[in-house]
Amino acid sequence: MVSNSSKEVYILGTTRAGRAFRPSDWAERLAGVMSQFRPGGPQPGSHLGYSPWCIPTAINDVRCVIVHPDLREDNVLAWDFCMNFAKDNDLQVSIGAPEASAP
């Protein structure tokens, strides 16, 4: 789906049909599940913060998760989990930051 030399992948909280994905805290939930996948592996207390490889944010008021390509290098199953989450929920995926939509 994404080449190894690509930039970060943005999983957007908008379906391909243009609907907002629910629940509204889906990005934080996904990033929370991925918190153990981080440089150096899980550490005591690492579940209390997000991994630098999977960060929830919002762009243009759309919730999204930024997935860093280093996640794939460290744990391909964790990478596949994120990509399959997007696919299974018909979410839009952007390689690199998505362009701002015109007002």
Question: Mean pLDDT across the stretch 24-46?
Answer: 87
User: Does residue 3 fall inside a structural domain?
Assistant: no
Q: Quick check: is 69 in a domain?
A: yes
- Count of structural domains within the chain: 1
Residue 43 lies in a domain: yes
The residue-averaged pLDDT of 53-65 equals 95
The domain of 29 spans: 9-95
**Percent residues over pLDDT 90 in the chain:** 73
Predicted TM-score (pTM) of this structure: 0.84
Q: What average pLDDT does this structure show over 77-89?
A: 97
Residue 47 in domain: yes
CATH code of residue 13: 3.30.70.2340
Alpha-helical runs (H) found in the chain: 26-33, 70-74, 76-88
67 part of a folded domain: yes
Q: Are 37 and 53 in contact (CB under 8 A)?
A: yes
Tell me whether residue 79 is in a domain. yes
